[in-house]
Amino acid sequence: MQFGPTEEQQMIVDTVRRFVETEIYPHEAEVERTGEVPAELAEAIKSKCIETGFYACNFPEEVGGAGLSHLEFALVERELGRGSMALTHFFGRPQNILMACEGEQRERYLLPAVRGERMDALAMTEPGAGSDVRGMTCSAVRDGGDWVLNGTKHFISGAEHADFIIVFVATGEDDTPRGKKKRITTFLVDRGTPGFTIRDGYNSVSHRGYKNMILDFDNCRLPDAQVLGEVDGGFAVMNEWLYATRITVATMSVGRARRVFDMALAQAAEREQFGQPIGKFQGVGFQIADMITEIDAADWLTLAAAWRLDQGLPANREIASAKLYSSEMLARVTDAALQIFGGMGLMDDLPIERFWRDARVERIWDGTSEIQRHIISRDLLRPLGA
Amino acid sequence: MKVLVPVKRVIDYNVKVRVKSDGSGVDLANVKMSMNPFDEIAVEEAIRLKEAGKAEEVVAVSIGVKQSQETLRTALAMGADRAILIVAADDVHTDIEPLAVAKILKAVIDEEAPGLVLCGKQAIDNDMNATGQMLAALTGWSQGTFASELDIEGDSATVTREVDGGLQTIKIKMPAIVSVDLRLNEPRYASLPNIMKAKKKPLDEKTAADYGVDTAPRLEIVKTSEPETRKAGEIVGSVDELVAKLKEAGAL
């Protein structure tokens, strides 16, 4: 067992940290205020990221990525987690699900995504299908040799900037002993395809500027070439690739928690009340102790889950634990930090209130805390017949 | 032409410096350390010279504790070709004084025969601003300090110097020691491919004794203290009030 980064890994961490501090932090307040990322700024972040070879570093070398291990990529995302998501989105990390591209799909989607020429987004959630993915009503039916898509997706992050979307839709239904079960197929849909529109979603308190979009499919006609993976194989594609987004939430929660913690620690040491630094009061000092203990625990839990993936070990339960614990840890840490800052913590003169708001969504998206607990408990109990 | 770039491992510029309770210096235990920012500018300039075809090889050298190896790896990840680590101390709190550093660098120059030494104008820990100048004296080479622009043509270099109240442009003969200032360039990020390659690049390890240089300190640090904390200001309501307050304070 070895607890600590290699020299290369430490350099990766240092470089990404510096990138975030230099290229992201100075623009955060403006993005927060306007809810928009200026196109030139997005382009600047993206091109610097491409220049330094970090763009799509989660992809293997044979398709033009940097071939980082899951552990190394977790270290990258942990540092990115410190910065505004609206901005770090352009530190491009295409969905690893694109590795499922075959034949000419590689030229049209996978390779341009890795090169940073085309951006992607992932669409699964619907107004009536959140945690219950199989409840989706967005559907595709055969018409001649084509598929015709109808329905609506919402909460689609990154769709605003996407050149194409990876969309999961129902393509049939099976009768099973446990009732009807939808069959799901994954499609690659280009922006601008007739019958497909992308519009603004809702105003969220979390991650302003990292917009959630609504996708409408109105008799959107797609040829077979747009199917990613097998027809009716959507669940296989999800199971093979979608673990990544949960690790992303876990690592980014840890990174943000560390940034918040550093601010809270400095405040506890510098802010004086009753003639002494507030950190000297046990009520605050112990709070600090609990915060760092939880952050470290979440950090190691997450890195260990990523390490298991690298070792080819089963990791589904561990990833769920990391996502669950890290996102809930972030909620507690940001709340405690806000308490340490007192009234000023609620004012938008400081970023504390933003971190506190941003933290709330981490327990919801990419599988709610409840879904993670379900995954964990099922993983433990099912083998025992329960 | 070969370019030699001395780099120093110093307390990270983002770290809030804490003075040790006995006043003997700054606490460096468990503190983030990184490359002196001025040295980073020097590394960047050397790499740019190489990219422009004016230099063939960039050699980074660091003198200090063994952990300075990390600083050299950073230089390699930025694009330096190889590195020399000269271990001259065991304790992170031991600072090697500029004269000893200059003497060791002189010995390295004798071995490596570079055409140019690019160094930071000073290290942000002790702000000595002396090594480059001392090295120029020891080697008898030209010196161009506080460079904000550097142009090398054949056997001479044009150096724009940041001097008090303006800029001074000088032309010096090569080989030369050029110490760099903040505005010379903006150092690049280490690229991911270069980070991965850094470990495969050669890093020679030597000791100060190998060069026969005595690194024992010649200066005694009598006391280190925190800067005086700034007193709180006051917000005034009008220009009249401001003038009155300034008169009160004897400033007008």
| Residue A344 scores a pLDDT above 90 | yes
Q: What is the pLDDT of residue B185?
A: 97
For the entire predicted model, the pTM comes to 0.91
Confidence of residue A6 (pLDDT cuts 50, 70, 90): very high
CA atoms within 13 A on the CB side of B82: 9
Q: What is the pLDDT of residue A190?
A: 98
A26 and A87 housed in the same domain = yes
A297 and A374 housed in the same domain = yes
A88 and A124 housed in the same domain = no
CA distance B179 to B163: 13
CA distance A219 to A147: 9
A368 and A273 housed in the same domain = yes
User: How many domains is chain A partitioned into structurally?
Assistant: 3
Pairing of strands A164-176, A179-190: antiparallel
A30 and A131 housed in the same domain = no
Q: What is the pLDDT of residue A22?
A: 95
Of the residues A44, A74, A93, the one at which a domain ends: A93
DSSP SS3 for A111: helix
B contacts of A48 (beta carbons < 8 Å)? 189
- Count other Cβ atoms within 10 Å, centred on residue A346: 13
A57 and A12 housed in the same domain = yes
A171 and A210 housed in the same domain = yes
Interface test with A, best of B40, B189, B197 (most A CBs within 10 A): B189
Dihedral sign of CA atoms B234, B235, B241, B242 in order: positive
Q: What is the pLDDT of residue B29?
A: 86
Of the residues A232, A267, A288, the one at which a domain ends: A232
A324 and A275 housed in the same domain = yes
Rg (CA), chain B: 21
Q: Which helix (H) or strand (E) holds A176?
A: strand A164-176
Interface test with B, best of A6, A8, A10, A11 (most B CBs within 10 A): A11
A contacts of B196 (beta carbons < 8 Å)? 8, 66
CA distance B13 to B33: 8
A140 and A81 housed in the same domain = no
Q: Give the minimum alpha-carbon distance from A310 to chain B in angstroms, rounded to a whole number.
A: 18
* Domain range for A228: 120-232
Residues of chain B short of pLDDT 50, as ranges, are none
Which residues neighbour A274 within 8 Å (Cβ) at sequence distance 6 or greater?
A: A281
Per DSSP, the residues of chain B read -EEEEE--EEE-TTS---B-TTSSSB--TT--EEE-HHHHHHHHHHHHHHHTTS-SEEEEEEEESTTHHHHHHHHHHHT-SEEEEEE--SSTTPPPPHHHHHHHHHHHHHHH--SEEEEES--TTT----HHHHHHHHHT-EEEEEEEEEEEETTEEEEEEEETTEEEEEEEESSEEEEE-GGG--PPPPPHHHHHHHTTS-EEEEEGGGGT-----SS------PPPPPPP----SSHHHHHHHHHHTT--
A203 and A296 housed in the same domain = no
- Do residues A215 and A167 make contact, with C-beta atoms less than 8 angstroms apart? yes
CA distance B76 to B204: 13
Tell me whether residue A112 is in a domain: no
Tell me whether residue A13 is in a domain: yes
Contact state of A7 with B73 under an 8 Å Cβ cutoff: yes
Q: What is the pLDDT of residue A241?
A: 87
Q: What is the pLDDT of residue B131?
A: 97
- Count other Cβ atoms within 10 Å, centred on residue A30: 15
Which CATH number fits the domain that encloses residue A250? 1.20.140.10
Tell me whether residue A153 is in a domain: yes
Q: What is the pLDDT of residue A64?
A: 95
Q: What is the maximal distance between C-alpha atoms in chain B?
A: 69
**pLDDT tens, residue by residue, A77-134:** 999 999 999 999 999 999 999 999 999 999 999 999 999 999 999 999 999 999 988 8
Q: Which residues of A touch B (CB under 8 A)?
A: 7-8, 10-12, 14-15, 18-19, 21, 48, 51-54, 57, 66, 68, 266
A208 and A255 housed in the same domain = no
Tell me whether residue A334 is in a domain: yes
Which chain A residue is nearest to residue B33, measuring alpha carbons? A14
CA nearest neighbour of A75 among A21, A8, A13, A24:
A13
Q: What is the CATH number of domain B2-248?
A: 3.40.50.620
A contacts of B190 (beta carbons < 8 Å)? 11, 15, 52
Q: What is the pLDDT of residue A250?
A: 98
Contact state of A10 with B70 under an 8 Å Cβ cutoff: yes
Q: How large is the ipTM?
A: 0.85
Tell me whether residue A105 is in a domain: no
Confidence of residue A179 (pLDDT cuts 50, 70, 90): confident
CA distance A200 to B177: 59
A76 and A29 housed in the same domain = yes
Q: What is the pLDDT of residue A159?
A: 95
CA distance A218 to A216: 6
Contact state of A48 with B189 under an 8 Å Cβ cutoff: yes
CA distance B121 to B112: 22
**pLDDT tens, residue by residue, A184-236:** 999 999 999 999 999 999 999 999 999 999 999 999 999 999 999 999 999 88
Q: Which of A15, A21, A48 sits opposite B195 (nearest CB)?
A: A15
CA distance A119 to B161: 45
Tell me whether residue A100 is in a domain: no
Of the residues A181, A200, A232, the one at which a domain ends: A232
CA distance A250 to A309: 15
Interface test with A, best of B44, B195, B196 (most A CBs within 10 A): B195
- Count other Cβ atoms within 10 Å, centred on residue A225: 11
Tell me whether residue A284 is in a domain: yes
CA atoms within 13 A on the CB side of B246: 8
CA distance A327 to A361: 9
Q: Which of B192, B198, B199 sits opposite A54 (nearest CB)?
A: B192
Tell me whether residue A253 is in a domain: yes
